[in-house]
Amino acid sequence: MTSPASAARRTVRVDLGERSYDILIGPGLIASAGAEIGARLKGCRIAVVTDEHVAPLYLEPFLSSLADAGIEAVSQVLPAGEKTKSFEHLMTVCDAVLGARIERGDAVVALGGGVIGDLTGFAAGIVRRGSRFIQVPTSLLAQVDSSVGGKTGINSRHGKNLIGVFHQPDLVLADTGVLDTLSPREFRAGYAEVAKYGLIDKPDFFAWLEKNWRDIFSGGEARIEAIATSCQAKADVVAADERETGLRALLNLGHTFGHALEAATEYDSARLVHGEGVAIGMVLAHQFSARMNLASPDDARRVEAHLKDVGLPVSMDAIPGGLPPVEVLMEAIAQDKKVKSGRLTFILTRGIGQSFVADDVPASEVLSFLKEKHPR
Ligand SMILES: NC(=O)c1ccc[n+]([C@@H]2O[C@H](COP(=O)([O-])OP(=O)(O)OC[C@H]3O[C@@H](n4cnc5c(N)ncnc54)[C@H](O)[C@@H]3O)[C@@H](O)[C@H]2O)c1
Ligand SMILES: O=C(O)C(=O)C[C@@H](O)[C@H](O)[C@H](O)COP(=O)(O)O
Ligand SMILES: [Zn+2]
């Protein structure tokens, strides 16, 4: 794969019939948000939801871009971090949207990372039985993954993302300029989801990442190329299987283990964030595939080496503060949304870029594998 000639704005279309939408990718999109939104959603008012880290950096520029385009807006700022994906904050967002008399034809905007996107999208999906929704993702993770595809929701004490709806956005504005203020830890976490697309079914993209990841971290054309490639990969899967009846489950590579680890660390972002859980989960998925004689252990070592190179955690013992016993992880795994008739479904692999959906994975095998890997 070669780098593009210029870092100009890119557009990826998510093809879903009457619910199709564009993902605009490039620098300066917050400054031109008013014009982009005004051109598509004529005469709408807007409720913007953001978090306390993003608000001081980007709320005012976003609101003034709307004001310049003659769009009236209200805003709601929430605490940052995974714990915000809760009923309490869902209620706050619904109250703010209704209190501002945002109508169905108006729009609810998520300005922030995946936490704000998932929560706000859920609120937009249920307020007035479905309101228009715009994603303005500000983290790498949100730009390459969570802002696309319409999965929205909150966490439950029974597990991650267990309460939510599918609700597609009408537009995604991914301003790549804002990624310069993201912490290195959060940038790395988002990178795990970028690498995921290579590991699912794009071995050439994974090899390109192994070579070019430093350029992605430092910004410029390689970063935009990686974001656009990721969005296109996700858009293709979502267009083929919007509601995860089959193929879309591939996007869950590393997530069955990762979500169990997030639940086990009580969604404490100081200990583990989603992308870190996915990084550890993808290494575990490759190691488990090797243990089941589906793939070579060399592939698992290659995945581990690359994620370690970029500075991501690659094993459970990298999680600070210890973990509950394996049986607790197994309980979270049993609540995974891919479980069918009580049988576990995992995304396993035959090698780099050869992932597949494995139904009916024996729980006993998973348990003994996790016992080997658990730091105790
Ligand atoms: N719906 C989906 O398809 C999907 C896909 C992947 C992940 N997710 C969800 O997304 C969430 C993780 O998203 P995330 O990694 O963006 O976490 P996040 O929303 O917590 O954002 C990470 C941190 O970065 C801060 N931040 C965001 N943008 C910033 C910027 N430009 N400058 C400075 N700070 C900034 C945030 O305030 C936060 O502290 C998880 O809840 C995960 O389950 C959903
Ligand atoms: O969009 C999807 O489909 C995904 O699985 C993307 C994942 O990266 C994301 O973390 C998603 O929220 C997980 O979905 P879930 O259904 O396992 O909760
Ligand atoms: Zn994810």
Banded model confidence at residue 5, pLDDT cuts 50, 70, 90: very low
Binding residues: 114-118, 138-139, 151, 160, 193, 255, 274
Tell me if residue 155 falls in helix, strand or coil: strand
The CATH class of 4-182 is alpha beta
The helix (run of H) or strand (run of E) holding residue 137 is strand 132-137
Report pTM.
0.97
As given in the structure block, the two tokens for residue 286 are 């490759």
Share of the chain above pLDDT 70, in %: 98
150 CB near ligand 1 (under 6 Å): no
Catalytic annotation on 252?
Answer: yes
As given in the structure block, the two tokens for residue 50 are 């953001």
Banded model confidence at residue 369, pLDDT cuts 50, 70, 90: very high
pLDDT single digits (tens) 336-345: 999 999 999 9
The helix (run of H) or strand (run of E) holding residue 359 is strand 355-361
Q: Whose CA is nearest to atom 44 of ligand 1?
A: 146
Average pLDDT (160-170) is 98
Catalytic annotation on 234?
Answer: yes
Catalytic annotation on 53?
Answer: no
Q: What is the pLDDT of residue 376?
A: 80
Catalytic annotation on 244?
Answer: yes
Q: What is the pLDDT of residue 6?
A: 40
Count each helix (H run) and each strand (E run) in the chain, helices first. 13, 11
d(CA 328, CA 346): 18
Report the DSSP beta bridge partners of residue 176. Answer: none
Q: What is the pLDDT of residue 168?
A: 98
Average pLDDT (22-45) is 96
Q: What is the pLDDT of residue 2?
A: 37
Q: Looking at the predicted structure, is the pLDDT value of residue 1 above 70? A: no
CA of residue 81 to ligand 1 center, whole Å:
8
Spatial contact of 278 and 303, defined as CB atoms under 8 Å apart:
no
Average pLDDT (28-56) is 97
Which ligand is nearest to the Cα of residue 242, counting in written order? 2
Residues with Cβ < 8 Å from 370, sequence gap 6 or more? 326, 329, 330
The gap between the terminal CA atoms of the chain, to the nearest Å, is 42
Catalytic annotation on 274?
Answer: yes
In DSSP notation, 89-109 reads HHHHHHHHHHHTT--TTSEEE
Cα distances (Å, whole numbers) of residue 257 to 185, 237, 279: 20, 22, 10
CA of residue 31 to ligand 1 center, whole Å:
21
Binding residues for Zn(2+): 193, 255, 274
To test the pocket of ligand 2, the residue of 196, 252, 280 to mutate (highest count of ligand atoms within 8 Å of its CB) is 252
Catalytic annotation on 248?
Answer: yes
Q: What is the pLDDT of residue 8?
A: 76
pLDDT single digits (tens) 186-201: 999 999 999 999 999 9
Q: What is the pLDDT of residue 220?
A: 87
pLDDT single digits (tens) 323-334: 999 999 999 999
Annotated catalytic residue: which of 85, 89, 151, 302? 151
Q: What is the ipTM of this complex?
A: 0.99
Banded model confidence at residue 163, pLDDT cuts 50, 70, 90: very high
Q: Looking at the predicted structure, is the pLDDT value of residue 7 above 70? A: no
61 CB near ligand 1 (under 6 Å): no
Banded model confidence at residue 263, pLDDT cuts 50, 70, 90: very high
Annotated catalytic residue: which of 129, 293, 372, 376? 129
Average pLDDT (268-291) is 98
Q: Which residue ranges have their beta carbon within 6 Å of ligand 2?
A: 145, 149, 151, 161, 193, 244, 248, 251-252, 255, 337
One of 1.10.3720.10, 3.90.330.10, 1.20.1090.10, 3.40.50.720 is the CATH number of 197-373, namely 1.20.1090.10
Report the DSSP beta bridge partners of residue 10. Answer: 25
Spatial contact of 326 and 219, defined as CB atoms under 8 Å apart:
no
Residue holding tokens 């870092």?
7
Domain ranges in the chain are: 4-182, 197-373
Report the DSSP beta bridge partners of residue 107. Answer: 46, 132
pLDDT single digits (tens) 71-95: 999 999 999 999 999 999 999 999 9
